[in-house]
Amino acid sequence: MSDTLVTVDPAVNNLREYLETLFAPDDELLQALVRETYAVTQHPRMLGDRWLCTFMEWFIATHSVHRVLELGTFTGYSTIRLARAVGATGAVTTLESSTLHADIAEKYFARAELTTRITLLRGTACNLLPTLLGHTFDLVYVDADKAEYPQYLELIAPLLDIGGTIIADNVLWGGKTYTSSEHDVRTNALRTFNSALFANHSFKATLLPAGDGVIVATKVK
Average pLDDT, the chain: 94
Helices (H), 11-148: 15-22, 28-40, 50-62, 77-86, 99-111, 125-128
The CATH label, of 3.40.50.150, 3.40.50.720, 3.40.140.10, 3.40.47.10, for the domain at 15-219 is 3.40.50.150
**pLDDT given for residue 210 in this prediction:** 87
**pLDDT given for residue 20 in this prediction:** 81
φ and ψ at residue 93, rounded to 5 degrees: -105, 125
Question: How many Cβ atoms are within 10 Å of 45's Cβ, its own excluded?
Answer: 8
**pLDDT given for residue 62 in this prediction:** 97
pLDDT of residue 5 exceeding 80:
no
For residues 163 and 98, what is the distance between their CA atoms, to the nearest angstrom?
Answer: 31
pLDDT of residue 171 exceeding 90:
yes
φ and ψ at residue 81, rounded to 5 degrees: -65, -40
- Residues 105, 78: contact at Cβ < 8 Å? no
Domain map (residue ranges) of the chain:
15-219
**pLDDT given for residue 112 in this prediction:** 98
Sheet of 203-208: strand order equals 118-122, 91-96, 67-71, 137-142, 160-169, 214-219, 203-208
- pLDDT digits 0-9 by tens, 112-129: 999 999 999 999 999 999
Mean pLDDT value across residues 139-157: 97
For residues 127 and 160, what is the distance between their CA atoms, to the nearest angstrom?
Answer: 18
Residues 6+ apart with CB under 8 A from 32: 108
pLDDT of residue 25 exceeding 70:
yes
- pLDDT digits 0-9 by tens, 100-111: 999 999 999 999
Confidence of residue 32 (pLDDT cuts 50, 70, 90): very high
pLDDT of residue 4 exceeding 80:
no
For residues 190 and 171, what is the distance between their CA atoms, to the nearest angstrom?
Answer: 6
Confidence of residue 17 (pLDDT cuts 50, 70, 90): confident
Residues 6+ apart with CB under 8 A from 174: 212
